[in-house]
Chain A
Amino acid sequence: MADHLFEYTLRLGDNCLILGQRLAEWTGHAPILEEDLALGNLGLDLLGQARAFLTYAGKVEGKGRSEDDLAFLRDAHAFRNVSLVEQPNGDFGQTMARHLLFAGWYSLVLERLTQSQDSTLAAVAEKGVKEIAYHWRHAAEWTIRLGDGTDESHRRMQSGLHQVWGYTPELFRMDETDTAMLRAGVGADLAALQPAWDARIDAVLVEASLERPSSVTRSNGKQGVHSEHLGHMLSEMQFLQRAYPGMEW
């Protein structure tokens, strides 16, 4: 049981950490200064949630691992984020597509987790759900603006969606850990979230005059089988802790 809770909490923390790290890559390079500010905001929210989840995961595991041990001293196969969040930023359209699909799903997950029997997860979800509601709105607004903007923005937004869509089936696939956590009243029923996600995504795509892609990519990030991208991201993120082991910063 504790193993499942550790695993489950790690998944939540890693999703936030890895997507937050991707957003950090935009710093200073956004299309307008207002978006530098907005993407920084999104990144900070995710990083804050990542810290809460990873700290708790370390506690649940009971081996004395801190948030930093978990973030900086695991290799890619030990990361439990869904593959969607590690996909590269691409252009601004692709970043917004990834965020739309993820925030559309994650906000639903957090809503369920506010009712979790695990009081720590419920408390983090309670705070996070308000933050991610903004992420969803921000991504939806940009998806509509870009989809219904110019020919070029429509083409790019559509292509960004195609690029990441295939990673979405993983979001709803239940495995042993998810099932155990659902039975214990701790976790969310991911498969049951699909209709609500479909409806909200479809509504945005219609308003944006974008087509719903149908691609499927075999991805099992939450079981630790990642795309090639994660290893490169970690080699950058973990550099100092690896080059100077065991130091205080």
Chain B
Amino acid sequence: MSNASSQSAEEARFQARIDAEDKIEPKDWMPEAYRRTLIRQISQHAHSEYVGMLPEGNWLTRAPTLRRKAALMAKIQDEAGHGLYLYSAAETLGASRDEMYRDLLSGKAKYSSIFNYPTLTWADIGAIGWLVDGAAITNQVPLCRCSFGPYARAMVRVCKEESFHQRQGFQIMLSLAHGEPEQKAMAQDALNRWWWPSIAMFGPPDGESKHSAQSMAWKIKRHSNDELRQRFVDMTVPQADFLGLRIPDDDLKFNADTGHYETGPIDWDDFWAVVNGEGQCNTDRLAARQKAHDEGAWVRDAATAYAAKRAARKAAERIAAE
């Protein structure tokens, strides 16, 4: 973080605009680090939407009813749409889609590590909607007030759709939890596997989060990781009770003095191991993205070649007409 005395006049003006809750637009002056931070965060978010289509796509062809299949298909399609707005928002900062993809495929750019966990049963589709999208909304609602205009505006639309996704996931869990014993067991098993990764999605505890302080000063981020995690836990525990499912945490308790639920310790070694490549699906997810990219190359080349041919023909027609 640059200290006040070394701030240039431009930086000071920029920070004053941020402090006054002005939105920063793509053509406005901004510190290089602000631009880089946003490109990193927005492209990572876009990659998460893109990679996140895979674990859900894994059950789309096996959805148990046509209504569930249609809802899941619409949800995954929304995610493709979110990926597109977010890549576009990052492009306004000067990043190109090709570069962003290259960074995703090379492993240089990250995506949400939650998608490195497998979807083993239909209940996982419910758990992803309920917990993963629930956590995502908790993270993203404050981003609707992010200081960078295009990101904030993209988030308004994304959040509306995410809340529909979250309800959809909860509805799946509800049907299973109120269903036959096998279905209830399926729902409990999914909660057992997704609970800890979901609360880890908010990132490392406040003291250890390396990007947090500057992002808060720039109002890219509005709340600390631990605050958001607490908000999610407080919202979700009563929902699990309503479903009649047990959160897999023996230390979980309600603190009447603070009005908050307190969880047991999160296994951060496990979290970092998965981020750094040991998850069951890290290799598969990137391999799937790489395969689609490679197998789609001829299609993208054809579209480019056709557009060039068409432009050349149009130009020739114009010359002939003159």
Which residues of A are interface residues toward B (Cβ below 8 A)? 17, 21, 24-25, 27-37, 40-41, 43-44, 47-48, 50-51, 54, 67-68, 71-72, 91-93, 144-146, 148-150, 152-153, 156, 236-237, 239-241, 244, 247-249
Contact = CB atoms under 8 A, between A and B. Distances in A.
Closest 7 CB pairs of A and B: A31-B296, A149-B302, A153-B302, A40-B77, A31-B299, A27-B57, A249-B64
Contact of B66 (A34, A35, A68): A68
Contacts of B182: 244, 247
B291 A146 contact: no
Contact of A33 (B80, B172, B288, B301): B80
Interface of B: 50, 53-54, 56-57, 60-70, 73-74, 76-77, 80-81, 83-84, 87, 122, 172, 175-176, 179-180, 182-183, 288, 291-292, 295-303, 305-306, 309
Nearest to B302: A149
Interface majority SS (helix, strand, loop, mixed), chain A: helix
B84 A91 contact: no
Best-buried of A27, A41, A48, A237 by chain B (most CB within 10 Å): A27
Given A33-B84, A37-B77, A37-B81, A47 B66 contact: yes
A148 B66 contact: no
B84 A248 contact: no
B54 A28 contact: yes
B66 A51 contact: yes
Given A31-B292, A156-B298, A244-B182, A145 B62 contact: no
A239 B300 CA distance: 35
Contact of B180 (A54, A145, A150, A244): A244
Contact of B295 (A27, A31, A40): A31
A241 B64 contact: yes
B301 A249 contact: no
A35 B67 CA distance: 23
B65 A249 contact: yes
B295 A91 contact: yes
Nearest to A237: B61
A247 B179 contact: yes
